[in-house]
Chains A and B, each alone.
Chain A
């Protein structure tokens, strides 16, 4: 039952494959499927919210022998968020994506990508997680190269090489886990690892996982592929990448380090150091860039640092901060790249030196775009602000004062970068750029297409505002997730059938 979102996306992707060249139909179907997918996610979320952790054993093989699917609050929240992002990007692509790309399987792959993500969020099996990672990598690789421009391929090469490296390390790690415990079911592994005498070996294994997921989530010193590749594909693709791909790495890290390697102090310290350096590197990188896509790319890195910081400190409060930030970040980063896509469509460039005059020419759109931009900065009480309170509080408790300094620095750099961006892109007088002959500008688009581009930004901005102003609800959710993560006994019991199963 809980695999329904995955199955649904699978069906959606497959159906879309059958309408290979019929782009208009594909647009319609993709949006429709995304809406239904969102509906299913909401339903699953509510179900888990009411009933607690739910389990499905594939093929009805009892855990730990088959593959278990587990819907805990964290998992379903991530599924929900990915559905929201997916819907937004699907609508945005319908408005903005070039026909040629749509004719070559953009939409089916998009749905397969979402399927991969949701599978990863719901699986309770470490090898199965690896398989979902594969789905995600291969679909993202196809999306990244779709169109095959030289610049895209160059970025894609770095992306895929480093991600494959991560996958191999992940696989090596799984091999070690299997060697140590003889099991792949994460709940089962958790118990067996816990009973293992040779802690050092567990620690080394967790180090491999740290690096494998670290590459995926772009933390220091493994973030290189991200700034190299995220600005190259069409913004709609970057949007889904920015919102969800690095977050998948974070998800995996949160899951494995709370469930399987619970609280290895040494690795925690390492993570805190890496978090500080990640914030630093991302912030400094963003400071220098002139291309909007690259600026946002570095900002992703910077904010990944915030997420790792919480995991590194490893207290309930800190994890709560991480979860809250994760929820905020998925929505706002997806939105951000759509924003850059919209600006690109309007002006024909992403270079902030050439951009300008947005505020004069499009006052309403400018104010709309201000919402995600300033939410990202975390101008209180917008969504980026709340998590920082938790992180700083947690830092005080664990006495990671230097880390707090870096969090403050990171926030400041974000503020500065976005304020500069605002000043350049929105306030400055634009220069008349020569129109590109074969580009389709916003002003030349049909009204429907224009709306299809603006509406998802409105949608996600609305959600960001809700996260900010309705922070209480998000805090309650993060608190529950954090409690479940920090005390995985409920999860383990549910998976290993000490509780009644729901087939």
Chain B
């Protein structure tokens, strides 16, 4: 199982190496990967039916409780089959669709990386490894959307998609960690046992909120939906595969997976119903206002995802069953529609639904596939879409007080989606062929067989639901709902309200298709609302954040060294003052302080004068020299306290520092008076405050009865062990000889620096490369 999952990654890494060979020998060789995986997963159908779920375990990062455990049950098997099955078709389709493309091998590399990540998402039992794969799908999607990377719109869409899904992913990560903190494990199977504890914990609300953000961003729910239409910039096979059939369903997968664990609470259900309902209606309306085939399909996909969220939100057994069937039904017809759009685009060079017509004359098999897909999307009997629609209406009708509203919303959505589906699957093929598309012809079977096959499946499963009822839908249902109810799928439910609603949907949808013609006018109407669209609001928020970032950054990083110093000192002063006056009893015993000699007074006065000089002068060099004087005065103190060696070292270091500074400063522009009087006062005040604080602290520190163990040891043993009379010198060259040695090195380095600065002066006109 591990191999099955990571095969795609290995494949992606190897692609560049064997691409030349594959190009020559077997053009559709890449497709063997998803195809064999598909067959591999098919084998599990029987086992899952009898056992419920199978676990596979591989160790990875045990100290974090992260492993590569895989859980194969109905839900994950359905997804795995969709990923590999549709994957195989898309791989085959691509061999022709992107034939001769310069970067075909890279494309396959990304695509197989995506497939592997997606398999990882749906198969992982460990939530953390699921999250890892989840993020990898976002990244592969980023690379695939930006595949035509020289087009600015592609790049922008890729970035938008990554931002939205990446943001959602990070939020979800917090959710996963929070869930682990409450439930004690990353393993989904283990967490299932503590479902009640989690639901009753105080953080339950946070957990589901964080998970919702992850799921909604990934599955393009309102108001995060707008990245998906943008993602249609990707080549059509990608749109088919990632942005309709599989990746965008990862959020749905997540919600379905967590239903038995976190579901069936007020907040869970009501949030999902609301978000799902808003999304499905909003996107369905949008889908009939577009003219670009891919846009239509993008919005109808969003709407379908909304329906799924809505159904999971309702949460009754019927609703979950409906969701299970709809996942499959939608994948089959929507993938077909996308593939067909790709063919039309490929052959006619247009995706404008207002212009396209009559193509059935030249590409009959494609038209057949289009018809089947459109009819399945409409929910016409004998197609899988019909069954899913029936079950969905049953579910909404059972929903207590709100049944009428929910059903009405569902019917409305379905009507609009019917129109959208017809536009994509029927409109381009009927009517008379415009002259401009006269050159269109039936493409290679590699292109039209995949959608055709999908149509056959829709028809087959729809006509004979028993084909999948027991083997696939039953396990899917059990794993979403956690119940053992035996389900039955029938074509004929008798005369009842559901049937009436079905007929109503078909009739009014048909009528709407008849009367409403896709046009640019309709599309223009939506443009007026562009200003309040979530995309604009979020992008505007982003811009606002950007300007705020500018203000914030310019405020702190304002380019003035003196402001930096002031900020730092002010911060330190505040911190110290707060602690000092808050926590310490200030008491200074003046008697303990030794008498001051007159040399000391002279030197201190000298220091004060030079400091005043340094801050009042206008010339940089003068102030550096004045500071040098302060340094030398310090050295005098060393002399007073009988450390001539130290004083010597200090003298030379000071001299060098002054020199080094002079060299740097010479190159800077002339010093000007920038500060106003007020600012100078503020600075002076701050310096005084800071100095006073340090002084108080120093006195305070020396109040503390410190142990003199070390200094005593030095004094006593200097002569005996180290053979020297001057204790300070002994400390310097022996006890702490290492320090002194290293300081010598500092001097050497400084000397090198000074030398280089003086000698090496790269011509400023030369750009450094």
| Real binding pair | yes
Q: Which residues of A contact B (CB under 8 A)?
A: 10, 17, 58-59, 61, 64-67, 98, 100-101, 103-105, 108-109, 112, 115, 119, 127-128, 131-132, 134-135, 138-139, 141-142, 145-150, 153-154, 156-158, 161-162, 165, 169, 172, 175-176, 178-184, 188, 192, 196, 198-201, 203-205, 207-208, 210-211, 215, 220-222, 224-225, 227-228, 234, 266, 270, 280-281, 284-285, 287-288, 344-345, 348, 359-360, 363, 374, 379-381, 385-386, 388-389, 392-393, 396-397, 404, 408, 411-412, 415-416, 419-420, 423, 426-429, 436, 438-441, 471-472, 475-476, 479
Given A67-B738, A423-B155, A10 and B584 touching (CB < 8 A)?
A: no
| 1/0 contact string of B91-117 vs chain A (CB within 8 Å) | 000000000000000100000000000
Q: Which residue of the partner chain A has the closest CB to B701?
A: A179
| Alpha-carbon distance A169/B576, docked complex (angstroms) | 12
5 pairs, CB–CB < 8 Å, chain A vs chain B: A145-B757, A153-B668, A204-B580, A393-B177, A423-B158
Q: Is the CB of B63 within 8 A of A411?
A: no
Chain B nearest CB from A271 CB (Å) reads: 11
For the complex, is B582 an interface residue (Cβ under 8 Å from A)?
Answer: yes
Q: Which residues of A contact B708 (CB under 8 A)?
A: 182
Q: Is the CB of A419 within 8 A of B745?
A: no
Q: Is the CB of B707 within 8 A of A161?
A: no
Q: Which residue of the partner chain B has the closest CB to A203?
A: B579
B 577-632 contacts with A by CB, 8 A: 579-580, 582-584
| Alpha-carbon distance A9/B63, docked complex (angstroms) | 36
- Interface segment, one of B340-348, B426-434, B670-678, B747-755: B747-755
Chain A nearest CB from B163 CB (Å) reads: 6
Q: Is the CB of B769 within 8 A of A428?
A: no
Q: Is the CB of B571 within 8 A of A211?
A: yes
B568 CB contact (under 8 Å) in A100, A211, A388? A211
Q: Which residue of the partner chain B has the closest CB to A143?
A: B753
- Identify 15 new A-B residue pairs, CB closer than 8 A, beyond the known A280-B552, A389-B64: A65-B714, A142-B749, A149-B764, A157-B668, A158-B561, A162-B568, A179-B704, A182-B707, A196-B704, A201-B584, A221-B556, A224-B557, A379-B139, A385-B132, A429-B150
Chain B nearest CB from A287 CB (Å) reads: 5
Q: Is the CB of A211 within 8 A of B753?
A: no
- Interface segment, one of B167-175, B402-410, B480-488: B167-175
- Ordered nearest first, which 5 A-B pairs have the shortest CB separation? A200-B583, A142-B753, A439-B769, A427-B149, A284-B549
Given A105-B756, A270-B575, A287-B546, A215 and B580 touching (CB < 8 A)?
A: no
B 72-127 contacts with A by CB, 8 A: 106
Q: Which residues of B contact A429 (CB under 8 A)?
A: 150
B 632-678 contacts with A by CB, 8 A: 664-665, 667-668
Q: Which residues of B contact A386 (CB under 8 A)?
A: 61, 64
Q: Is the CB of B568 within 8 A of A138?
A: no
Interface size on B, residues (CB 8 A): 102
- Interface segment, one of B22-30, B519-527, B692-700: B692-700
Q: Is the CB of A198 within 8 A of B177?
A: no
B 716-757 contacts with A by CB, 8 A: 734-739, 742-743, 745-746, 748-750, 752-753, 755-757
For the complex, is B567 an interface residue (Cβ under 8 Å from A)?
Answer: yes
Q: Is the CB of A415 within 8 A of B163?
A: yes
Q: Which residues of B contact A479 (CB under 8 A)?
A: 63
Secondary structure at chain A's binding surface: helix, strand, loop or mixed?
A: helix
A288 CB contact (under 8 Å) in B549, B580, B701, B714? B549
For the complex, is B572 an interface residue (Cβ under 8 Å from A)?
Answer: yes
Q: Which residues of B contact A201 (CB under 8 A)?
A: 583-584, 697, 700-701, 704
For the complex, is B200 an interface residue (Cβ under 8 Å from A)?
Answer: no
Q: Is the CB of B155 within 8 A of A135?
A: no
| Alpha-carbon distance A141/B661, docked complex (angstroms) | 11
B 501-559 contacts with A by CB, 8 A: 546, 548-550, 552-553, 556-557, 559
Given A234-B768, A284-B549, A183 and B579 touching (CB < 8 A)?
A: no
Q: Is the CB of A221 within 8 A of B568?
A: yes
Q: Which residue of the partner chain A has the closest CB to B546?
A: A287
Secondary structure at chain B's binding surface: helix, strand, loop or mixed?
A: helix
Given A161-B565, A180-B701, A281 and B572 touching (CB < 8 A)?
A: no
Q: Is the CB of A221 within 8 A of B769?
A: no
Q: Which residues of A contact B139 (CB under 8 A)?
A: 374, 379
Q: Which residue of the partner chain A has the closest CB to B561?
A: A158
| Alpha-carbon distance A396/B707, docked complex (angstroms) | 42
Q: Which residues of A contact B734 (CB under 8 A)?
A: 59, 61
| Alpha-carbon distance A374/B135, docked complex (angstroms) | 12
| Alpha-carbon distance A220/B745, docked complex (angstroms) | 32
Q: Is the CB of B131 within 8 A of A380?
A: yes
Q: Which residues of B contact A98 (CB under 8 A)?
A: 762, 768-769
Given A146-B760, A415-B162, A427 and B135 touching (CB < 8 A)?
A: no
Q: Is the CB of A348 within 8 A of B769?
A: yes
Q: Is the CB of A396 within 8 A of B163?
A: no
Q: Which residues of A contact B149 (CB under 8 A)?
A: 359, 423, 426-428
| Alpha-carbon distance A132/B738, docked complex (angstroms) | 11
| Alpha-carbon distance A440/B550, docked complex (angstroms) | 35
Name the residue among A61, A131, A220, A380 with the largest chain B CB count within 10 angstroms: A380
Q: Is the CB of A176 within 8 A of B177?
A: no
Q: Is the CB of B767 within 8 A of A204?
A: no
Q: Is the CB of B565 within 8 A of A104?
A: no
Q: Which residue of the partner chain B has the closest CB to A196?
A: B704
For the complex, is B439 an interface residue (Cβ under 8 Å from A)?
Answer: no
Q: Is the CB of B135 within 8 A of A182?
A: no
Q: Which residues of B contact A198 (CB under 8 A)?
A: 584, 704
Chain B nearest CB from A224 CB (Å) reads: 4
Given A281-B552, A472-B62, A156 and B664 touching (CB < 8 A)?
A: yes
Given A138-B746, A148-B761, A200-B582, A288 and B546 touching (CB < 8 A)?
A: yes
Chain B nearest CB from A267 CB (Å) reads: 9
